[in-house]
Structure 1
Amino acid sequence: MDFTFSEEQQAAAEAARGVFADVAPDSVPSPSMVVGAVADDFDRALWARLAEADLLSLLLDPDEGGAGLDAIALCLVLRESAKVLARVPLLEHSAAAATIQAHGGPEPRSALVARAGRGELVLTVAASGRTGHDPAELAVTARQDGDAWLLDGVQTAVPWAQTADHIVVPARSTTGDSRTLLAVVPRGQEGTDIAEQISTTGERLGELRLESARIPAASVIDSDGAWEELRDLLTTGTCALALGLGERVLRMSGEYTGKREQFGFPVATFQAVAMQAADRYIDLRAMEVTLWQAAWRIATRSPGALPAAGDVAVAKIWAAEGVRRVVQTAQHLHGGFGADVEYPLHRYHAWAKQLELSLGPAAAHEEALGDLLAAHPLS
C-alpha cells in the first residue's frame, strides 16, 4: 500500500483549507455555543463556497461534473472541515451521492447526482445505531407492493433531516430474504413525518417516522454491497472528522498551556502537562494511520479484495476512544476555561462526544471486529 497522497488529493485538501479559512468557531458566536439555542439551517453560504470549489462532487465521475476522486480525498476535506466545526452536511451528502451514482437506477442518477454535485439539492442518510452490520439492527422495514416498496419504522437521529431534499434510508426487506435496501425518500413524502430532536452538539436532528411510505421501485437501491459501502464510507468519514477535531483541540491546548503561567513558568513546561500532551499526540497519530488504512481499503475495493469492514472497525475504535481522550485532557489542561460554555473548547467537546458515538461507539466496533475475526480466522 502507498499512503502518499496524490497531487489531486492534496489539491482537494488545499482547496478545503482555503474555503474553511474564514470559518472561525473560536471567534464567531454560533447557536451551538449557547445552551438551549438551535440553528434552523446549516451554513448555506459555506455550502455555496464548497460547491463553487467543486468540493461537493469529489467522489462523482467526470461525466457527472465530478472530480472522480476517492474516499481518501473526501477524508482529507472532512479533516479540514472538523477543525472549524463546519456546519454543513458534507459527509452525508457526499456519501449518499456516490452511492446513488454507483448503485442507483437511471432515474435517481439522472435526477439527483449531477445536481447534488453542484450543491443544488442536499442529500442525507438515515443511518444511526450500533454499527449497521446486522440487518436486524435496522429500524426501518420494507415490503414490496407491486411496483413500489412500502417503508415502516422510526429512524432516530437523522442529521440535517429538516433541510435535506432527499434522505437515503437503509431498510430491511421483509419480502423474501432479509436483505438491506436503500430507499431514496424525498422530504415531505406522503407517509413520512420528521419530529424534532437535538444532538449533543446542539444541532438539529430529525426523528424520521415512516408509515407505509410508498417509494417507487426506481428510487430503491436493491444492490448487493450498496449498504455496506455506504456504511463503511460514513464510518470512515466520521473518523476523519474526529481526527481533524482532535488535532485542532490539541493545538488549542498547546497554545493555552504555552501562555498560561504558574510559579513564573508556562504550564506547558511542567512534566505532567508535557506527558499528557505527548500521550494525546500518540492518540492522534494512531487515529491518523488507522484512518488512512481504512480509507485506502475503501478506495481500492475491487472484486476478490479483502473486505474493508475490519479496517473500518479498527479506525472507528481508535477515533472514538482517541477523540474522547483528547478533549478530556484539553478540558483538564484548560482548568476553569474548559468548563466555560462560552469558550470554544466546550463546542469541540460536544462535537467530539457526538462523533464518538455516531455509527457505533468503540465497544460496538470491537464486538463487530471480534465477529469478523471469528468468521475469518487468521491463518
Structure 2
Amino acid sequence: MDFTFTEEQQAAVEAARTVFADVAPDAVPSPALTPGAVSDDIDRPLWARLATSDLLGLTLSPEHGGAGLDPVALCLVLREAARVLARVPLLETGAVATTIDRYADPATAAALLPRVTRGELVLTAASHGRTGHDPADQAVTAHRDDTTWHLDGTQTAVPWAYAADLVAVPARTTDGRTVLALVPRTHEGVTLAEQYSTSGELLAELHLDAVRLDADQVIDAEGAWDTLRELLTTGTCALALGLGEAVLAMTSEYTGKREQFGHPVATFQAVAVQTADRYIDLRAMEATLWQAAWRISTSATGALPAAGDIAVAKIWASEGVRRVVQTAQHLHGGFGADTDYPLHRYHAWAKQLELSLGPAAAHEDALGDLLATHPLA
C-alpha cells in the first residue's frame, strides 16, 4: 500500500513553503508584553499571497474556484503555516468553507465560496461554547419563524472575530437539532467583547441578542456542525505538529552550537535522550494526524467512527506539543525565558493549541465513551 502524498498534495506543500518563506515569527510581539500589542487584524499581505497561490480553496469544489483536494492537503498547508506562526485564519476559513461546500444550498455556496478562494471573504468559527467547558452547540439557541431564524446566546474565545466577515455559529433548535448559522460580524444584534489568548492574539466573546437571519444564512443539514468540529480539531493537530517540528529544529540548532566543557551540549547523553524522546513524540503526532485526516477525507469505516481517530490525534497533539516546548525551554536555558527570543512566542502558541478544542484529558474521556459505545469486539 502506498502511503505517500499525491502530486497535488505535495504541490500544495511547495506552494505553501514559498508563501511562508518570508514570514518572520520573531517580528510578532510576545504575549508577555502589553495586551493589545498585536494587531487585531490578520496579516492581510500574507492572506493575499495565499489567495494568489490558490491555497485558500484547496478543499473546495472546482466550480467555486477550488482545487477539489481533501482535508489532508489542508492539514499539510496548516503544518507549514504553524512553523512560522502565520497570523492568518487559514484553519478557520478552510474548515468553515469546506463545510459550506458540503452542506449549504447551492445558491449560498455559489455566493460565498468564490469570494473565499479570492481572499475577499474571511471566515471563522465559534467552537468553544459559552464558557469554554460546555458543548459549543448548546451555547446558542435558535428557532425558526416562517423563513426567519432567531438566535440568542453567547460564544466565548472566537478567534479572528474582529477581522472575519462571517462567523459560523452552532445553535441548538427547540427540537434538539444543531444548525450552523453564518452570522455577519456587523449584523444587528451582534456584539463583541475583547478577550486575549495565551498566544497574545485578540479573541472575542460573541453575544447574539435576538439576531434575525434569513433561511439561506443558516445551514440546516444534519452533520454540518459535526463535520466542522472534526475539521477544526484535526487542523489544530496539524498546527501543533508544525509548531513542534519548528521548535525541535530550533532546539537542535542551539544545542549543536552551545558549548560546555569544550563540547557542544548536543553531544551530552542527557540532552540527546531528551531530544530523541521529543522526536518520537512528533512522529506519533504525525502518524495519528494523518490517520485522522484520512478518516474524515474518505468513507472508510471501522470499529470506531472517525471521532475515535480524531480524539487519539488530539491527545497526542496536546501532550506532544506541550512536552516539545517544555524540553526546548529547558535545553535553551536562559534563552528559553527571553521574550526577545522566538521560542518564547512558540511556547505561548503551543499552550493555546494544547488547550484549544479540549485538552488531552477531555479527548481521553471522549475516547472512553466511544469505546464503551462501540466495543472493539
Contact 2:304 / 2:374 at 8 angstroms: preserved in 1? no
Instruction: Give the corresponding residue for 1:164.
Output: 164
CA distance in 2, matches of 1:292, 1:160: 26
1:373 counterpart = 2:351: no
Question: Once the 2 structures are TM-superposed, how far is the Cα of residue 308 of structure 1 from its aligned partner?
Answer: 1.0
* TM score, norm. by length of structure 2: 0.95
Residue type at the aligned position of 2:197: S
Q: Identify the range of structure 1 (305-314 vs 256-265) with the bigger mean alpha-carbon deviation.
A: 305-314
Label 1:224 to 1:200 Cα distance change in 2 as closer, same or farther (>3 A): same
Instruction: Give the corresponding residue for 1:4.
Output: 4
Q: Identify the range of structure 1 (7-16 vs 298-307) with the bigger mean alpha-carbon deviation.
A: 298-307
Question: Once the 2 structures are TM-superposed, how far is the Cα of residue 30 of structure 1 from its aligned partner?
Answer: 3.7
Label 1:184 to 1:92 Cα distance change in 2 as closer, same or farther (>3 A): same
Question: Once the 2 structures are TM-superposed, how far is the Cα of residue 35 of structure 1 from its aligned partner?
Answer: 4.0
Question: Once the 2 structures are TM-superposed, how far is the Cα of residue 311 of structure 1 from its aligned partner?
Answer: 0.3
Instruction: Give the corresponding residue for 1:207.
Output: 205
Label 1:299 to 1:133 Cα distance change in 2 as closer, same or farther (>3 A): farther
Size of the alignment, in residue pairs? 375
CA distance in 1, matches of 2:357, 2:136: 15
CA distance in 2, matches of 1:280, 1:252: 13
Instruction: Give the corresponding residue for 1:316.
Output: 314
CA distance in 1, matches of 2:112, 2:87: 22
Match of 2:299 among 298, 301, 304: 301
Question: 1:282-320: per-residue Cα shift (whole Å, max 9, x none)?
Answer: 000000000000000011136999621000000000000
CA distance in 2, matches of 1:239, 1:301: 21
Residue type at the aligned position of 2:201: E
Label 1:137 to 1:64 Cα distance change in 2 as closer, same or farther (>3 A): closer
Question: 1:110-152: per-residue Cα shift (whole Å, max 9, x none)?
Answer: 221111111111111111259x998686311112222111111
Question: Gaps spanning 5+ residues in structure 2: where?
Answer: none
Q: What SS does the corresponding residue of 2:354 show, helix, strand or coil?
A: helix
CA distance in 1, matches of 2:123, 2:137: 23
The 5-angstrom pairing of residues 146-185 of structure 1 reads 146-174=146-174, 176=175, 178-185=176-183
CA RMSD of aligned residues (A): 1.9
Question: 1:156-176: per-residue Cα shift (whole Å, max 9, x none)?
Answer: 1001001100011011112x2
Question: Once the 2 structures are TM-superposed, how far is the Cα of residue 211 of structure 1 from its aligned partner?
Answer: 1.0
Label 1:304 to 1:292 Cα distance change in 2 as closer, same or farther (>3 A): closer
Question: Once the 2 structures are TM-superposed, how far is the Cα of residue 106 of structure 1 from its aligned partner?
Answer: 3.1
Residue type at the aligned position of 2:289: L
* TM score, norm. by length of structure 1: 0.95
Question: Once the 2 structures are TM-superposed, how far is the Cα of residue 53 of structure 1 from its aligned partner?
Answer: 0.2
CA distance in 2, matches of 1:117, 1:29: 26
Contact 1:41 / 1:163 at 8 angstroms: preserved in 2? yes
Q: What SS does the corresponding residue of 2:124 show, helix, strand or coil?
A: strand
Question: 1:264-292: per-residue Cα shift (whole Å, max 9, x none)?
Answer: 11111111111100110000000000000
Q: Identify the range of structure 1 (283-292 vs 332-341) with the bigger mean alpha-carbon deviation.
A: 332-341
Instruction: Give the corresponding residue for 2:333.
Output: 335
Label 1:137 to 1:184 Cα distance change in 2 as closer, same or farther (>3 A): closer
Match of 2:186 among 166, 180, 188: 188
Q: Identify the range of structure 1 (204-213 vs 108-117) with the bigger mean alpha-carbon deviation.
A: 108-117
Instruction: Give the corresponding residue for 1:347.
Output: 345
Question: Gaps spanning 5+ residues in structure 1: where?
Answer: none
CA distance in 2, matches of 1:305, 1:114: 38
Match of 1:244 among 239, 242, 245: 242
Instruction: Give the corresponding residue for 2:43.
Output: 43
CA distance in 1, matches of 2:284, 2:34: 33
Q: Identify the range of structure 1 (82-91 vs 108-117) with the bigger mean alpha-carbon deviation.
A: 108-117
CA distance in 1, matches of 2:137, 2:28: 38
Contact 2:180 / 2:218 at 8 angstroms: preserved in 1? yes
Question: Once the 2 structures are TM-superposed, how far is the Cα of residue 240 of structure 1 from its aligned partner?
Answer: 0.2
Residue type at the aligned position of 1:69: L
Q: What SS does the corresponding residue of 2:363 show, helix, strand or coil?
A: helix
Instruction: Give the corresponding residue for 1:220.
Output: 218
Using the aligned pairs only, state the percent identity: 72
Question: 1:176-217: per-residue Cα shift (whole Å, max 9, x none)?
Answer: 2x1111000011111110111111111110110011111112
CA distance in 1, matches of 2:273, 2:51: 42
Instruction: Give the corresponding residue for 2:116.
Output: 116
1:278 counterpart = 2:276: yes
